[in-house]
Amino acid sequence: MSAAHDYSRYADLADAPAPDADVTTLTGRLDAKLTELASAGCRVQWIEVSEPEMIALFVEGGDEAIQLDPDPAVDKAWYGDFEVRPTIKSCIWIYVEGEVEAQISAHIVS
């Protein structure tokens, strides 16, 4: 999970810091993971989003959450600067370069 917090060092969870409110939403977790990957030097190649997660992104972010390409000849969608592809897999899959040499690797956000 992209928004995991390490609570193991807290004997009582009441003493643990509260997670950022932003990561309680799917949009917040996706944005946090994209930031984490960019900070690690990874280059996002594309994002695959299943229908339930796409609906959640629209509910949280409004109609502007995922944009169709402005060129009608291009059948693509975009989450910010990142290409979005539909998938039947559950969750959001982020495919990146730069984590494993000469390979594409994936990260999952749920």
Domains of the chain, residue spans: 13-109
Q: Is the pLDDT of residue 35 over 80?
A: yes
- The residues, any chain, with a CB within 8 Å of residue 49's CB and separated by 6 or more, are 57, 66, 79, 84, 85, 86, 87, 92, 93
Give CA 10 to chain center in angstroms.
Answer: 28
**pLDDT (0 to 100) of residue 2:** 38
Confidence of residue 22 (pLDDT cuts 50, 70, 90): low
Encode pLDDT of 49-100 as tens digits: 999 999 999 999 998 899 988 888 888 899 999 999 999 999 999 999 988 8
Q: Residue 105 corresponds to which tokens in the numbers above?
A: 């690797």
Q: What is the DSSP string of 24-81?
A: GSHHHHHHHHHHHHHHTT-EEEEEEE-HHHHHHHHHHH-TTSSEE-SSTT---EEETT
